[in-house]
Chains A and B, each alone.
Chain A
Amino acid sequence: MPTLLDTENLKKHYQMGSSTVRALDGVSLTIDQGEFVALLGTSGSGKSTLLNLIAGLDRPTEGSLRIFGRDLAQMSSAELSLHRRQNVGIIFQSFNLVPTMTARENITLAMMFAGVARAERDASAGSLLESVGLGGRQDHRPRELSGGEQQRVAIARALSNKPHLLLADEPTGNLDSHTSRDIMAILKDLNQREGKTIVMVTHDATLAGAYANRTITLLDGVVVNQQSSSAV
């Protein structure tokens, strides 16, 4: 499979008072199209920082991060927002839905930023919600939905602009085990049936092993282990 993403000596340092926090300290890795990669590590290992860099929410301190050959480190803030709009869909642990908007509106909002026409937005938001099993709850606000339902809305939103890459930051961290399995099944299905590349951050090695093709373990900002699994 062709390369989707590669990093070279990627570093992200924060200044915390007088001390420097090396959240990422020289990460070089490659992710191919169609892969389901789990970034595994404890709290503070740098896995979320790496995900944020890939998402274009943050900028590297040093090194390169290329997606489809373009280096995010060199992009302007307008280009980064275009990258977030077109290339990636992000799924958060805390869902991050706009509380004042219904499920459908949360999805159309993302398409609004991409300049999709209204009629098309409404139609595809409907079918996206159908596809995650929320056909009947389109006009409910997040507070009226369960955690699992909210995460389904978030997945539908992440898919709305047809990105190549889905980024999931502890997608099941706030869910019970039963719901977690449902959500992971949806992600696995997207990976296998639609060929979406997925990068998922988790601290749960079992979850990583069960669903991902490859597990990259980080510790103190560096990759300590890469393991391909034959999990299906």
Chain B
Amino acid sequence: MTFRDTLSLALRNLGEAKLRTSLTTLGVSIGIASLAGMVSLGVGLQDQFVSRFTKSGLFDTITVTPGQDMPGGLATLARGGRRGFGTRRRAGPAAVSPDATPLRSDLNDNTIKELTAIDGVKEVYPNVRAPVEAKFGSDSEGMLAAGVPMSARDEGAFQSITFGRFFSDDGAAECLLSLEMAKRIDEANPQGLLGKDLVLVHAAPGSPSTQPPAGGPAAAMASRVDVPYRIVGILERETGPFGGTAAVSGLMIPLGRAKAIVAATRALTQALVPERANDRAYNTVIVKVKHPQFTQDVEDQIKKRGFSAFSLNDALQGAKRGFIILDIVLTLIGSIALTVSSLGIMNTMVMSILERTREIGIMKAIGGSDGDIRRIFLIEASAIGFFGGVTGVVLGWIVGRIINFGANVYIRNQGGTAGNLFSLPIWLIGGAIGFSVAISLIAGSYPAARAARLDPIRALRHD
């Protein structure tokens, strides 16, 4: 008997018992829908999480801080990096153990060159926050302007600037605003700020940086300048949990400008408080690696040099473990429904064999082999599995859409960013259908074997 004949016979048999077939198929599809829905939810949540992370540009980013003792938990967290046995030992006073690398705090342009030379490093730049006073019309406010490197143009949050564009040049007198900041300036029409000037009052870069002005605070105040910065872009705030590279700050200016302002400001500060002078030009340096997989290696290398380094790699590993557990739990919940429906298949097949006992006897009498009979029933079972799988995936998708819609309405009302909570990738669709067929085959194998073993004479006498 050819496979095609077996298949057409099996489908025909299913068609003869339409109600039973469709009820069983519905049972399977509900099982598959709940399983696929649960896995889809797990995948969707993970995608959301990971994409937020990637968008924030923190995946491939290491934050380097001076290797000296810093107060508070952040230092411990930063130095310890990976949580584990060593963490506790390295934390606190014991951190300065005799065999430890000498700690360094010289975060300056030379250090940047040194770190750039490490294998796998794409770029190193200082995390610069320039103190400025922003004036728009009659309002003014003191704030820190974040220096954004030109390389951030197509990365992280800067991939999609809500209104306007990125800086044209590292030295351009241009600024970017977060949407939040823009709304603070012009609640009604933040977009209308594009092309207008924001005046930033800051230390005058240039000569003061090398020659501190004599005359104390008064002279320092006098060396401040008003510079108009053209507002070229506004972006929605998409910050990660730590203020790294591409995290959007309220006010952003080109890195070159920010560095100049900081240098000038430091020169002023040194004039006021001379003892603060040291070789530490920056508080934080950002190291970007070529690929997230290098993050850990580079982080270790930087620590070996005596700096503190922190990346979100560790946090992400923990989160990934959490997602695996979540996936398992969701899969288990989904599996319960599928187990019930596979018992449904088995029940349907057993009933069907009881009902068709005589027919099986006839098929054997006219030459059907045990194998033919077994295959007919196995194909019937797997066809139920296939149709159940397909309708289950569709059903799961529809229910997922509905829940997603509802959840997003809620999230938006709570002020969150709406996203896709359910993800249905191709592998999940194929996997769910394949799994459904496999489960059905397993559920159908016992009834099929029973049908194949039937004694033809008894089967023919059966009513």
What CA separation (Å) do A96 and B460 show in the bound complex?
Answer: 8
A81 in contact with B1 given A57-B456, A96-B362, A98-B362 (CB within 8 Å)? no
Q: Hey, which chain B residues are within 8 Å of A186, CB to CB? A: none
A57 in contact with B364 given A112-B1, A112-B5 (CB within 8 Å)? yes
What CA separation (Å) do A161 and B366 show in the bound complex?
Answer: 9
Q: CB of B197 within 8 A of chain A?
A: no
Within 8 A of A (CB), among B258-281: none
Q: CB of B238 within 8 A of chain A?
A: no
Contact with A along B329-372 (1 / 0, CB 8 A): 00000000000000000000000000000110111111111111
Cβ-defined contact, A82 with B369, below 8 A? yes
Residue from B359, B365, B368 within 8 A of A90 (CB atoms): B365
Chain B proximity of A153: nearest CB distance (Å): 12
**Closest residue on chain B to residue A58 by CB atoms:** B457
Residue from A52, A81, A98, A99 within 8 A of B367 (CB atoms): A81
Cβ-defined contact, A113 with B363, below 8 A? yes
Chain B proximity of A83: nearest CB distance (Å): 9
Cβ-defined contact, A57 with B365, below 8 A? yes
Total interface residues in chain A, CB < 8 Å: 27
Contact with B along A50-72 (1 / 0, CB 8 A): 00100101100000000000000
Within 8 A of B (CB), among A77-129: 77-78, 81-82, 84-86, 90, 92, 96-100, 109-110, 112-115, 118
Chain A proximity of B463: nearest CB distance (Å): 10
Cβ-defined contact, B365 with A78, below 8 A? no
Q: CB of B151 within 8 A of chain A?
A: no
Q: Hey, which chain A residues are within 8 Å of B9, CB to CB? A: 109, 112
What CA separation (Å) do A172 and B15 show in the bound complex?
Answer: 33
Majority-rule SS of A interface residues? helix
Q: Hey, which chain A residues are within 8 Å of B372, CB to CB? A: 81, 113
Most buried by B among A58, A81, A98: A81
Q: Hey, which chain B residues are within 8 Å of A152, CB to CB? A: none
Q: Hey, which chain B residues are within 8 Å of A115, CB to CB? A: 1-2
Q: CB of A47 within 8 A of chain B?
A: no
Q: CB of A214 within 8 A of chain B?
A: no
Cβ-defined contact, B369 with A81, below 8 A? yes
Q: Hey, which chain A residues are within 8 Å of B367, CB to CB? A: 81-82, 84-86, 110, 113-114, 161
Q: CB of A157 within 8 A of chain B?
A: yes
Cβ-defined contact, A77 with B365, below 8 A? no
Q: CB of B16 within 8 A of chain A?
A: yes
Q: Hey, which chain B residues are within 8 Å of A92, CB to CB? A: 365, 460
Q: Hey, which chain B residues are within 8 Å of A161, CB to CB? A: 367
What CA separation (Å) do A84 and B460 show in the bound complex?
Answer: 15
Residue from A81, A98, A100 within 8 A of B364 (CB atoms): A81
Q: Hey, which chain B residues are within 8 Å of A55, CB to CB? A: 365
Chain B proximity of A88: nearest CB distance (Å): 9
Chain B proximity of A107: nearest CB distance (Å): 9
Chain B proximity of A82: nearest CB distance (Å): 7
What CA separation (Å) do A58 and B359 show in the bound complex?
Answer: 17
Cβ-defined contact, B364 with A84, below 8 A? yes
What CA separation (Å) do A84 and B457 show in the bound complex?
Answer: 13
A98 in contact with B359 given A55-B365, A113-B1, A115-B2 (CB within 8 Å)? yes
Cβ-defined contact, B366 with A109, below 8 A? yes
Cβ-defined contact, B370 with A78, below 8 A? yes
Q: Hey, which chain B residues are within 8 Å of A97, CB to CB? A: 362
What CA separation (Å) do A17 and B12 show in the bound complex?
Answer: 41
Residue from B1, B358, B366, B457 within 8 A of A157 (CB atoms): B366
Within 8 A of A (CB), among B7-26: 9, 13, 16
Chain A proximity of B231: nearest CB distance (Å): 76
**Closest residue on chain A to residue B372 by CB atoms:** A113
Q: Hey, which chain A residues are within 8 Å of B365, CB to CB? A: 55, 57, 84, 90, 92, 96
Cβ-defined contact, B370 with A77, below 8 A? yes
A90 in contact with B366 given A52-B457, A57-B456, A96-B460 (CB within 8 Å)? yes
Contact with A along B203-214 (1 / 0, CB 8 A): 000000000000
Cβ-defined contact, A84 with B366, below 8 A? yes
What CA separation (Å) do A55 and B364 show in the bound complex?
Answer: 11
Chain B proximity of A66: nearest CB distance (Å): 20
**Closest residue on chain B to residue A55 by CB atoms:** B365
**Closest residue on chain A to residue B365 by CB atoms:** A90
Chain B proximity of A53: nearest CB distance (Å): 10
What CA separation (Å) do A109 and B362 show in the bound complex?
Answer: 10
What CA separation (Å) do A47 and B3 show in the bound complex?
Answer: 38
Cβ-defined contact, A113 with B457, below 8 A? no
Residue from A81, A98, A112, A157 within 8 A of B370 (CB atoms): A81
What CA separation (Å) do A226 and B16 show in the bound complex?
Answer: 48
Within 8 A of A (CB), among B371-403: 371-372
What CA separation (Å) do A115 and B20 show in the bound complex?
Answer: 30
What CA separation (Å) do A98 and B16 show in the bound complex?
Answer: 12
Cβ-defined contact, B366 with A110, below 8 A? yes
Within 8 A of A (CB), among B422-446: none
**Closest residue on chain B to residue A78 by CB atoms:** B369
What CA separation (Å) do A77 and B9 show in the bound complex?
Answer: 23
Cβ-defined contact, A81 with B457, below 8 A? no
Cβ-defined contact, B359 with A57, below 8 A? no
Cβ-defined contact, B371 with A78, below 8 A? yes
Q: Hey, which chain B residues are within 8 Å of A109, CB to CB? A: 9, 363, 366
Q: Hey, which chain B residues are within 8 Å of A112, CB to CB? A: 1, 5, 9
What CA separation (Å) do A114 and B368 show in the bound complex?
Answer: 8
Q: Using A96-B361, A100-B359 as known contacts, list a sample of 19 further A-B pairs with CB atoms less than 8 Å apart, ordered by residue number in A.
A: A57-B365, A77-B370, A78-B369, A81-B370, A82-B369, A84-B365, A84-B367, A85-B366, A86-B367, A96-B358, A98-B359, A100-B13, A109-B9, A112-B1, A112-B5, A113-B372, A114-B367, A115-B2, A157-B366
18 A-B residue pairs with CB within 8 Å: A52-B457, A57-B364, A77-B369, A78-B371, A82-B369, A86-B367, A90-B365, A90-B366, A92-B365, A96-B460, A98-B359, A99-B359, A100-B16, A109-B363, A113-B367, A113-B369, A114-B367, A157-B366
Give the 8 A-B residue pairs with the shortest CB-CB distance, closest first. A85-B367, A81-B369, A110-B366, A113-B367, A112-B5, A100-B16, A57-B456, A113-B368
Query: Using a CB–CB distance below 8 Å, which chain B residues touch chain A?
Result: 1-2, 5, 9, 13, 16, 358-359, 361-372, 456-457, 460
